Copies of this chain bind each other. A is one copy, B any other.
């Protein structure tokens, strides 16, 4: 049960996979390239993982779990719903800065991975989880009178999710993008757009 070496290798492979996915894209993320990036032989990957699919699942879970774990405390601490939404956006975007490749990697996995049987469960579940959390925040905000009641909570949740991700792709595309400013602007714009005005 030399879990140590095993874990180290798995992490090493996952990291190499993240790098290849982020920098070369899904279509080029072959076992050869990933192994080359990790400096190991191709068969080491199939030794430590059941196959390419299982490895990608490990990549996805590794990143998604870490991101989820990072976000949780901020959401809990952040006071009222509007504050929580702002916290969500701000910290998610802050997190991107330090985990660019990881998030790009799972992004491309979410978009491309999945064969004849459709998108893998763990990806679908992850997406739905995020959607559920955001929808609840919006609904709470509406109940608290902070967010206009006529807005469709699902729509807003989707919008937040897409625009936060948009920050990442903007940054990936244009490295000079200031992510903090992006977050600030996004929060400001959404708050103005969503807030229940005292008078219309």
Contact = CB atoms under 8 A, between A and B. Distances in A.
A5 interface: no
A194 interface: yes
**Shortest Cβ-Cβ A-B pairs, 10 listed:** A193-B193, A162-B166, A189-B193, A192-B193, A155-B185, A27-B27, A27-B112, A158-B170, A25-B112, A192-B192
A151 interface: yes
Contacts of A25: 111-112, 114
A152 interface: yes
A186 B189 CA distance: 12
A126 interface: no
Contacts of A188: 193
Nearest to A127: B173
A101 B75 CA distance: 37
A76 to B, nearest CB: 27
B155 A159 contact: no
